[in-house]
């Protein structure tokens, strides 16, 4: 593994707190420790014993009057700096404060019984200086100790965080790669080694992922990344994150294997397309059957009734009844013809999408019980599209118009068909009733889901907006897969 990996990798969580300097330690925390001397440490009691010995020495020298020079008599007081300073260095404020307090308590009686051969003010000033040194040095050492402890805890937390990251990094089943700013792989987890082989390190992202470093940093997690490794074809969802190591930017890449998911999605798409193709084929078959058999039979019966009604053997009343029956047959014939054309409009096959939509709007306007006005406008250069594209747009328009006329009860419906260089857009607007487009799929109508499915199968998208003020708009945009013939 590279030296980078040995250092702990990237993207490790930040510690819970940063190491604190001595000046950042709260004074309240320092003073609270001063109230708890280290009474369980034997070195603490050894220091207190030395203070007691120095006090006894001072008292003996003073009472015995062995040395009469003031400077020498005050020497034991100055010697108190040694135990107090040592207590501060070893224990901090909670050691030096207790030692200074102990020295003060012992020295006050000594000052009261001192002899008259020297001024006790000198001892008192020395004792005050000892207490001041105990507080100043002790609190400084205490702050340093607290800061050092905090830094040690932060370092330990960082090491634990890095260890947890390395464990997750190594145990994750998804391949993870780390690239530097030049796009060179610096680290890889075992899953990445298994996918790309032992030569994964020091290879570039162009060699591994077929992407430039700038493209890698801007890659979206929703993008599909096809890769070929180990002789097999994979599809990954590439999730990138920008991290830092040694104050240098790096990119961490997690490859989520969606090969099976994408294969299942393609299978579902192919099945849906085959199902729609079979449905359209069945519609065409039913339309042919209706046109070729029952419709022709009904028209034949209507002609024979017309001939029979005009014969001399039928009186006027019988001729009227036969004429009424013939009208019923003709009405039924027109209904069957409309049904057959709805199942497979001949204008779509022979004249194209725009002509078929004109006929569809004319039929819907004629059948509308609300007197709805339907208008069609064509933008761009009108031309023939692939049969799949024309049929898909026609079915979407058919469903949208039916929903508008039957459910929305609009006064006006506008249909716009726009031809662009590489795409076509169909827009259907009505000013009727609105509905909640954010309803869950279980609550939405089956026809709307069918419209979206048709658009998706053709590589396009369908968007629906509806409001009480603006009405309802259905916009379908499809890429032009191929042009059958130009007009």
Asked if residue 321 and residue 210 are part of one domain, the reply reads no
Helix residue ranges, H only, 67-120? 70-73, 75-79, 81-91, 93-112
* pLDDT attached to residue 114: 54
* Residue 3 placed within a domain: no
Asked if residue 159 and residue 28 are part of one domain, the reply reads yes
* Residue 77 placed within a domain: yes
Check: CB of residue 420 under 8 Å from CB of residue 379: no
* pLDDT attached to residue 223: 63
* Residue 178 placed within a domain: yes
Distance CA(451)–CA(474), nearest Å, equals: 10
Structural domain ending residue among the three candidates 322, 344, 366: 344
| DSSP E strand boundaries for 290-381 | 373-379
* Residue 13 placed within a domain: no
* Residue 149 placed within a domain: yes
* pLDDT attached to residue 247: 74
* pLDDT attached to residue 17: 40
> Which residues constitute the domain of residue 425?
351-487
Q: How many domains does the chain have?
A: 4
* Residue 17 placed within a domain: no
Structural domain ending residue among the three candidates 233, 257, 281: 257
Tens digit of pLDDT at every position of the chain (487 positions):
343 443 444 444 444 344 444 445 455 655 666 667 788 888 888 888 888 888 787 777 666 655 454 445 556 677 788 888 888 888 877 778 888 888 888 777 766 655 555 566 766 777 788 778 877 887 787 778 778 888 888 888 888 887 887 888 888 888 988 888 888 998 898 988 888 888 888 888 888 888 887 777 666 555 677 887 767 788 888 888 887 776 788 888 888 888 777 787 777 777 777 777 777 777 777 777 776 778 777 777 777 777 777 776 777 777 778 888 878 888 887 777 777 767 777 788 888 899 999 988 988 888 887 888 999 999 998 888 988 899 899 989 988 988 888 888 888 999 999 999 889 999 999 998 777 766 655 444 667 888 888 898 888 999 999 888 888 999 999 998 544 433 3
Asked if residue 251 and residue 269 are part of one domain, the reply reads no
- Residue 177 maps to which CATH number? 3.30.450.20
* pLDDT attached to residue 241: 83
- Maximum distance among all alpha carbons in the chain? 171
Place of tokens 């003010």: 121
Asked if residue 252 and residue 269 are part of one domain, the reply reads no
Asked if residue 182 and residue 89 are part of one domain, the reply reads no
Structural domain ending residue among the three candidates 257, 273, 288: 257
Asked if residue 418 and residue 459 are part of one domain, the reply reads yes
| Nearest residue to 402 (alpha-carbon basis) of 444, 370, 447 | 447
* Residue 8 placed within a domain: no
- Residue 402 maps to which CATH number? 3.30.565.10
Asked if residue 270 and residue 139 are part of one domain, the reply reads no
* Residue 5 placed within a domain: no
Asked if residue 409 and residue 297 are part of one domain, the reply reads no
pTM flag (> 0.95)? no
| CA dihedral over 123, 125, 131, 136, signed as positive or negative | negative
Asked if residue 136 and residue 208 are part of one domain, the reply reads no
Asked if residue 333 and residue 244 are part of one domain, the reply reads no
DSSP readout, 179-241? Answer: E-TTSBEEEE-HHHHHHH-TT-TT-BHHHHHS--HHHHHT--TTSEEEEEETTEEEEEEEEEE
Asked if residue 99 and residue 44 are part of one domain, the reply reads yes
* pLDDT attached to residue 2: 40
End-to-end CA distance of the chain: 65
Distance CA(120)–CA(70), nearest Å, equals: 10
Asked if residue 187 and residue 161 are part of one domain, the reply reads no
What the block records as the tokens of 229 is 């490794």
Please tell me what DSSP assigns to residue 459.
Answer: T
């Amino acid at each position: 593994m590279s030296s980078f990996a040995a250092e702990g990798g990237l993207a490790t969580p930040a510690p819970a707190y940063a190491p604190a300097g001595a000046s950042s330690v709260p004074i309240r925390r320092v003073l609270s420790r001063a109230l708890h001397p280290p009474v369980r440490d034997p070195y603490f009691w050894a220091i207190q014993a030395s203070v007691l010995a120095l006090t006894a020495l001072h008292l003996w020298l003073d009472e015995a009057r062995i040395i009469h020079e003031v400077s020498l008599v005050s020497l034991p007081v100055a010697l108190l700096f040694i135990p107090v300073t040592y207590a501060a260095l070893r224990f901090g404020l909670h050691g030096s404060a207790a030692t200074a307090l102990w020295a003060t308590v012992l020295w006050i009686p000594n000052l009261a019984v001192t002899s008259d051969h020297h001024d006790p003010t000198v001892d008192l000033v020395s004792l005050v200086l000892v207490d001041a040194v105990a507080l100043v040095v002790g609190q400084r050492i205490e702050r340093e100790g607290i800061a050092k402890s905090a830094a040690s805890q932060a370092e330990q937390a960082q090491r634990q965080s890095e260890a947890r990251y390395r464990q997750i990094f190594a145990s994750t089943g998804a391949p993870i790669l780390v690239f530097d700013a030049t796009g060179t792989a610096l680290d890889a987890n075992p899953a990445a080694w298994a996918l790309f082989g032992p030569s994964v390190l020091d290879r570039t992202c162009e060699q591994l992922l077929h992407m430039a470093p700038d493209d890698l940093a801007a890659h979206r997690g929703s993008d599909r990344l096809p890769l070929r490794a180990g002789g097999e074809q994979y599809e990954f969802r590439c999730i990138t994150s920008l991290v830092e190591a040694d104050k240098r930017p790096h990119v961490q890449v997690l490859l989520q294997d969606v090969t099976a998911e994408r294969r299942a999605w393609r299978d579902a798409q192919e099945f849906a397309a085959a199902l729609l193709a079979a449905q359209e084929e069945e519609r065409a078959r039913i339309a042919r059957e209706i046109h070729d058999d029952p419709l022709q039979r009904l028209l034949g019966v209507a002609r024979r009734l017309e001939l029979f009604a005009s014969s001399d053997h039928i009186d006027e009343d019988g001729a009227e009844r036969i004429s009424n029956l013939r009208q019923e047959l003709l009405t039924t014939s027109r209904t069957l013809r409309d049904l057959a054309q709805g199942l497979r409009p001949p204008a779509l096959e022979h004249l194209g999408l725009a002509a078929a939509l004109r006929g569809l709007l004319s039929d819907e306007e004629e059948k509308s019980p609300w007197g709805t006005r339907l208008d069609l406008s064509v933008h761009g250069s009108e031309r023939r599209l692939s049969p799949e594209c024309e049929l898909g747009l026609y079915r979407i328009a058919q469903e949208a118009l039916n929903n508008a006329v039957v459910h929305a009860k609009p006064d006006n419906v506008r249909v716009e068909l726009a031809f662009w260089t590489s795409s076509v857009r169909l827009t259907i607007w009505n000013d009727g009733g609105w509905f909640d487009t954010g309803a869950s799929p279980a609550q939405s109508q089956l026809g709307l889901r069918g419209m979206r499915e048709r658009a998706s199968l053709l590589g396009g998208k369908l968007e629906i907006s509806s409001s009480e003020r603006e009405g309802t708009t259905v916009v379908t945009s499809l890429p032009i897969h191929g042009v059958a013939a130009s007009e």
